[in-house]
Structure 1
Amino acid sequence: MTNLTGPNLNRREAAGPKGEGKESPSTFPAYPEYKDSGVEWLGEVPAHWEVLPLKARFQVVGGSTPSADEEHWGGQITWVTPADLSSLPSLKVGTSARQITQKGLDSCGATMVPPGSLVLSTRAPIGSLAIASVPLSTNQGCKSLVPDKEKDSRFFAYLLKNSTEALNVRGKGTTFLELSGDELSSFKVTVPPQDEQSNVAHFLDHETARIDALVEEQQRLIELLKEKRQAVISHAVTKGLDPDVPMKDSGVEWLGKVPAHWEVFPIKRDLEFLTSGSRGWASHYSDNGAAFIRIGNLTRDHINLDLTDLQRVSVPKGSEGERTKVKENDVLFSITAYLGSVAVVPEELETAYVSQHVALVRLFKKKLLPSWVAYVTLSDVGKNYLSSQGYGGTKIQLSLEDVAELLVTAPPLDEQAAIISFLDHETARIDALAEEGDSVITLLQERRSALISAAVTGKIDVRGWTPPADTAPADRETRMETV
């Protein structure tokens, strides 16, 4: 795979022999002659390209917000905010979360901008952008760039999407960053001849759509792997590993048949100790001290603790500290949110305590192994049970009695150990494939960013580019929807 240095690719790194591998900047030629743009983030640009402030090519139009009067809201005028821009699936905007009336528009002095205008978020977060597909207005957190009729907005849309960091540097404010109209108007950009703007936009439409399709393919694969993982766990803890084992009715409607030699009972039959953390320990948070296990340290996918975001606490003196201190092989359950989140305390864990939102289960281990209980909890059976037991209206939670009543399948201990070993191996294998997919997505997104940067700043020459013969060119609307 071609090595990419990222969005700030320079001309020498981007230039290379013209070949068949057109998926990276280094496979395209450089322009024959360059000049210093005079702008640090642009670097050198093709000698015949202009470098101009946006106001030389666009009219910058600010936004406004009508008062709360009922007659100003619920109309037919699209009224775009930064939130509307940040959640777009494509490079177009034609709808908004809220609409205003003509009276609302007139009352606040907002301006309608035509289709083809670039709508940019200029209040934190600065840089979200889309092309207007309908006439619209915006609030004061956005500004619109209205081009001349003959201008190709798509080129400048790609360029400004690639300029987020440079735009943010120009933002000002203490509570939140905001980019003023004057700063935006004076922001300098590359301006190729009109035909080259179209060439670059057409090239990027095609290439980013192709990369996005590969990303979607990887995302679908990762989702299938997650489904496979869940199915493997659920089957193993309810049917076992022997496909020919005699089965019996479990006596539980939602569990169905289980191996004939298995038992089914609540975990309280092998329960040594059950508790949850104390209230008010947030006041004891500190930069040093013991580990404090919260809901975020449990997951609904693994039986291992996630310690990437670990809070620490200065433990108050007294019995409460000892009661909530975890030991090796304790099983931890979320009881106030994300029901079904679980983890087994490993041998090497440092001194740690649980929060009030985590139940601590300590087993005798005469009938149940901790990892077995955790895997059953992760299975469809466990998740369905815990979800069905939750109460509390908007804040779903479990009582400690609900946890004690968790119904589990119970093979002999040696069979539990064998199935745990199988699941450890299989889930690790599936997780490795999913991580590989995530890595591919990261590389594709880096490649996409580098390709856009190289094209809109002239580090590569795509004037001679044509779509590969084996790919049918999508129409413009389709291409834009995939960006």
Structure 2
Amino acid sequence: MIEVVRLRHVADVNPPSPRFDRLSSDAELTFLPMEAVWPGEHMDRGRVRVKSSVETGFTRFQDGDVLVPKITPTFEASRSVLVNGLINGAGAGTTELHVLRPRSECDGRYLTYVTHSHPFLKLGESQMYGVAGQQRVPDDFVRDYPLRLPPLEEQRRIADFLNAQSRRIDLLIRLRIKQNALLDSEQVACIDTELLTPGSSRARVKYLTSRITSGPRGWGELIAESGTPFVRITNIARNGIKLLLRDLLRVQAPSGAERKRTRTKIGDVLVSITADIGSVGVVDADTADGNVSQHVALLRPDPRACLPVWLAYAMHSSPVRDSLRTSSYGGTKVGLSLSDVSNMRIPVPTLRDQESAVARLDKALSDIENLRSGLEEQVRLLFERRQALITAAVTGQIDVTTTRGADM
């Protein structure tokens, strides 16, 4: 019968760090902000601090500790790590970490896998406290978590098995992500092929539009549960020209000149001018009669000169995006000015030729997006498979001495 114990009986929770304490004040150590805390090869150990700079206001840890993010959504994202190879054997990092130090009867790798298991994550999520967006897993949850504790040798066998299976699954995930990146290149190639036709006349964007403007300042403070759509950079996809609606906010827009100046209409082309420079989207029925943020340029195509989707594809082409990015890095300037956008030169075939090219591009990019969706679904299922294997192994649902990953 495998013993089940409270986690605090086999690991010290948030203990002091003797190795940290023994270092001289000018000794170097590893520094881990939350963005550096990732499982496996994604862990960023390259940040270095001297001890005196992190003696107060930071969490201390040492080689062999298991770090468990305590704040949402990082906890639910299963980003716990076993740290080894720290500079001088010690480190400091964000205060949003629980530190678990396994004792002699508990293998550190096994304990790490327990923190990645479905029961640990779901039960921890249910016990979070605090305001929305700042909820945290309490110390008591971690200390009192019921841990299945097989003999040490079996813990090591389980960890070896999960290490091997995780490597296989991670390899498949990396391959799918690489394939997804290749689709990005294919998309760019499709757009460039249609737009960079030799002999096409070219014109500056300001001569093809009736309005070029950007959003008003300070409207982020007007966000409300209801109101008019408020399109931000977050809503402009890096791939394609369809706006993303999942994080679309709304504002109680005041009437007046600013509302009228930045009001969106179907067919307006939106361009990111501060982050993800050159990302483009086209306003549709879901985002019409809204407003854009100050970090987004709004272009209103002249229907006598170009189609909205043609303008969007042209702004998305690699020569234009490269030029925009180059403009954004000049001198001390951060981001693009409206002048940078309005003076971009793009090809302008006849409206009939634009229609034909847009139809071909829509079909080609739709096929690419279908492939992308399939790859993303495969990645999601691989993550689920890895967590299912971990959960089955640490909860005793499988015997790792007789089970192969392919059997699961």
- With the shorter chain as reference, the TM-score category is 0.7 to 0.9
- Name 1:3's counterpart in structure 2: none
| In 1, Cα distance between equivalents of 2:341 and 2:323 | 10
2:56 is equivalent to residue 98 of structure 1: no
The amino acid of 2:384's aligned partner reads E
2:374 pairs, out of 412, 436, 445, with: 436
Q: Check conservation: 1:229, 1:427, Cα contact below 8 A.
A: yes
Q: How does 1:69-468 map to 2 (within 5 A)?
A: 72-73=25-26, 75-76=27-28, 78-79=29-30, 81=32, 83=34, 86-90=37-41, 95=45, 97-100=47-50, 117-121=64-68, 123-124=70-71, 128-133=80-85, 136-139=89-92, 141-148=97-104, 152-162=107-117, 163-167=120-124, 177=136, 179-180=138-139, 184-239=142-197, 258=198, 260=199, 262-346=200-284, 349-390=287-328, 396-465=334-403
Q: Check conservation: 1:340, 1:386, Cα contact below 8 A.
A: yes
| In 2, Cα distance between equivalents of 1:355 and 1:322 | 14
1:62 pairs, out of 10, 15, 23, with: 15
Q: Check conservation: 2:65, 2:82, Cα contact below 8 A.
A: yes
Q: Check conservation: 1:63, 1:137, Cα contact below 8 A.
A: no
- Name 1:6's counterpart in structure 2: none
The SS at the match of 1:388 is helix
| In 2, Cα distance between equivalents of 1:65 and 1:394 | 45
| In 2, Cα distance between equivalents of 1:229 and 1:146 | 49
| In 2, Cα distance between equivalents of 1:106 and 1:374 | 52
Q: Check conservation: 2:66, 2:108, Cα contact below 8 A.
A: no
The amino acid of 2:103's aligned partner reads P
Shift, 1:64, TM fit: 5.9
Cα deviation digits, residues 75-108 of structure 1 (max 9, x gap): 24x4565638723434989x5633555x999999
| In 1, Cα distance between equivalents of 2:271 and 2:65 | 49
Comparing 284-293 and 119-128, the one that deviates more = 119-128
| In 2, Cα distance between equivalents of 1:212 and 1:86 | 17
| In 2, Cα distance between equivalents of 1:205 and 1:368 | 56
Shift, 1:217, TM fit: 1.2
Q: Check conservation: 1:66, 1:107, Cα contact below 8 A.
A: no
Q: Check conservation: 1:81, 1:142, Cα contact below 8 A.
A: no
Q: Check 1:170–1:265 CA distance in 2 against 1; reply closer, same or farther (3 A cut).
A: closer
Q: Check 1:144–1:382 CA distance in 2 against 1; reply closer, same or farther (3 A cut).
A: same
Shift, 1:325, TM fit: 2.1
The amino acid of 2:99's aligned partner reads K
Q: Check 1:64–1:165 CA distance in 2 against 1; reply closer, same or farther (3 A cut).
A: farther
Gaps of 5+ in 1: 1-47, 240-257, 469-483
| In 1, Cα distance between equivalents of 2:314 and 2:53 | 57
Comparing 336-345 and 348-357, the one that deviates more = 348-357
Shift, 1:439, TM fit: 0.3
Decide which structure has the larger Cα Rg and report it. 1
The SS at the match of 2:190 is helix
Q: Check 1:366–1:130 CA distance in 2 against 1; reply closer, same or farther (3 A cut).
A: same
Q: Which has the higher helix share?
A: 2
Comparing 230-239 and 264-273, the one that deviates more = 264-273
The SS at the match of 1:306 is coil
Cα deviation digits, residues 426-461 of structure 1 (max 9, x gap): 111111101110000101111110111011111122
| In 1, Cα distance between equivalents of 2:223 and 2:61 | 51
Q: Check conservation: 1:168, 1:179, Cα contact below 8 A.
A: no
Q: Check 1:121–1:344 CA distance in 2 against 1; reply closer, same or farther (3 A cut).
A: closer
Q: Check conservation: 1:170, 1:179, Cα contact below 8 A.
A: yes
Q: Check 1:366–1:91 CA distance in 2 against 1; reply closer, same or farther (3 A cut).
A: closer
The amino acid of 2:160's aligned partner reads H
Cα deviation digits, residues 21-50 of structure 1 (max 9, x gap): xxxxxxxxxxxxxxxxxxxxxxxxxxx211
| In 1, Cα distance between equivalents of 2:257 and 2:56 | 64
Q: Check conservation: 1:304, 1:343, Cα contact below 8 A.
A: yes
The SS at the match of 2:165 is helix
The amino acid of 1:118's aligned partner reads D
Shift, 1:204, TM fit: 1.4
Gaps of 5+ in 2: none
Q: Check conservation: 1:277, 1:356, Cα contact below 8 A.
A: yes
Q: Check 1:197–1:434 CA distance in 2 against 1; reply closer, same or farther (3 A cut).
A: same
- Name 1:35's counterpart in structure 2: none
TM-score (norm 2): 0.81
Q: Check 1:406–1:203 CA distance in 2 against 1; reply closer, same or farther (3 A cut).
A: same
The SS at the match of 1:272 is strand
Shift, 1:232, TM fit: 1.4
| In 2, Cα distance between equivalents of 1:50 and 1:276 | 63
| In 2, Cα distance between equivalents of 1:193 and 1:440 | 36
Q: Figure out how many residues of one structure are paired with residues of the other and give that number.
A: 390
Q: Check conservation: 1:63, 1:143, Cα contact below 8 A.
A: no
Q: Check conservation: 1:230, 1:380, Cα contact below 8 A.
A: yes
2:2 is equivalent to residue 49 of structure 1: yes
Q: Check conservation: 1:63, 1:142, Cα contact below 8 A.
A: no
The amino acid of 2:149's aligned partner reads V
TM-score (norm 1): 0.69
The amino acid of 1:147's aligned partner reads R
